[in-house]
Structure 1
Amino acid sequence: MKGIYRILIALVFLIAAIASYSMGIQSGVFLFIILGLVLEGAFWFGMFSAKRRNEA
């Protein structure tokens, strides 16, 4: 179940990044493009985060 939530959150970040890029291009507001970059970074770091192992 934990994996499903991780995938859903990553997809939300990706959709929000695409929407932000789209709004930034249409309106010409550079802040939306920066927001898109931040959201896309959150998507990629969420997808490929390092798994930690507990070693005793």
Structure 2
Amino acid sequence: MPLHYGKIFGIIALLTVLAFVLWQLWIAFFAGEAFDEKVAPPHAEAPLVEMGRA
């Protein structure tokens, strides 16, 4: 049975979806942690506590 274009394009589509899912997992695992550390500076609540006491 010959390999039709539909099967070839289907395999390419599945490989594309698989690559996209793996890319999203890679970004969520590695880049997500570094992004969270940059967004939340250490002791971010300190000025709010000091203003509340004054």
TM-score by length of 1: 0.46
State the structure with more CA Rg.
2
Q: Which has the higher contact order (CA 8 A, sep 6+)?
A: 1
